Amino acid sequence: MKNRLIALALLLVFCLNAALADGTLRTGDKGQDVLAVKQRLQELGYIGGGALTKSYTDKTAAAVREFQEVNGLPGTGELDEATRERLFSTGALTRPHATLTPLATPAPPDESGWPERDAEGFLAEGEEFFLEDDAGGHWVYLGRNLQISITRMREPSIPLIWFETDIRTRNGEGFRTVQTDPEHPGRKYQYPYVISRQAQFVLGFSDDFFANRMADGETVGIIIRDGQVISRETNAKTGHHLPNLDMMAFYPDGSAKVYACNERTADELLAEGARDVFSFGPILLRDGEINELLYTYYRSIEPRHALGMIEPNHYLLLSFQGRTADSKGTMLQRVAETMRQRGVRQALNLDGGNTMALIFRGRMLNKLATYKKKKFVRTVTSLIGIGCTASQTE
């Protein structure tokens, strides 16, 4: 018996020395080195959050195997020297996020019977052209310097209804903002479609609803309208609450940029030439990259509203209907992924829920959402719009 124990001990020593000699970690190994490996795997997303042990378990091996496969290494599940070198390098690839099934891309409207357009697609003659096809789900405006194309989309399996609004401008045509009481921001609430009609917007839509935060004594965020600062107060650091007061700034050249809530002051934005700054958030896309927070937070299914820039003077507004029998709403990850699939580079989440309103020629296209057993659209004190037409519908 004694000889057998001695032999077993010698075998264990031999195996341990062999492992140390080739530097490979595998299932059953323990120690500080194992913990360091697991901590790095956790940083890269291959191991979930929570406390880590010093044991190389089957789950550790599975995480190492996934890391190896993502990073182009043989998927052995053992941490050899090549895997170690890659794992602790600056070029180590993070665990890919699970993406949602892409939503269908809108088909263009039937253009038969449309007036003559120039090479860029703007109206060649006349002042304006409208198309309103409620049954087919297409609404179009053509002007000399403005194109708007709205398409209603459906995905019954979710179920989800959303509107994709493609906006193109030139020659200084851009977004305008309007307040019901500029001298007293946060007062004189009104239905968004009423505000849109009074402003004679071709297209009007709800914004960051800053007045609600102002009236409630909350941190408002940096708000600039038509070059005038309304609020300078913002969060000291970004977070995953809603709204986190991330910003989107629009400039006279038709460009737009997104910023974290604490990344710019109001004076810095003005010095850079920003004319309008909307503060709600979170950022959805920055330089074409999806905000990492969206894969962990903002998972609730709600009506959503987001504005993005594909390139200067070319924008996309996404309006996801929710809280209705035929459309539940969606999470922000889907909004961001859809934006990126459509070529958007910069995008910000605007106020959704029962604030969300999409108005074409004075008529709200989205259905009223139900909240706390009441069906309504929230009254607001400000609106974003573009275009001007005396032809309004009710």
The DSSP symbol for 80 reads: -
Residue 271 CA to its chain's centroid (Å)? 27
> In terms of CATH, what superfamily is 25-87?
PGBD-like superfamily/PGBD (1.10.101.10)
Give tens-digit pLDDT for 145-191.
Answer: 999 999 999 999 999 999 999 999 999 999 999 999 999 988 899 99
d(Cα 140, Cα 124) in Å, to the nearest integer?
A: 16
3-class secondary structure, 370: strand
d(Cα 207, Cα 180) in Å, to the nearest integer?
A: 13
Give tens-digit pLDDT for 221-269.
Answer: 999 999 999 999 999 999 999 999 999 999 999 999 999 999 999 999 9
* pLDDT for residue 394 is more than 80: no
C-alpha R_g of the chain: 27
Binning pLDDT at 50, 70 and 90, where does residue 19 land?
A: very low
Partners of 304 in beta bridges: 320
Instruction: Return residue ranges of the chain for CATH 1.10.101.10.
Output: 25-87
* pLDDT for residue 16 is more than 60: no
pLDDT at res. 55: 97
Task: Characterize the bridge pairing of strands 283-286 and 228-231.
Answer: unpaired
- Is 203 in contact with 167 (CB distance < 8 Å)? yes
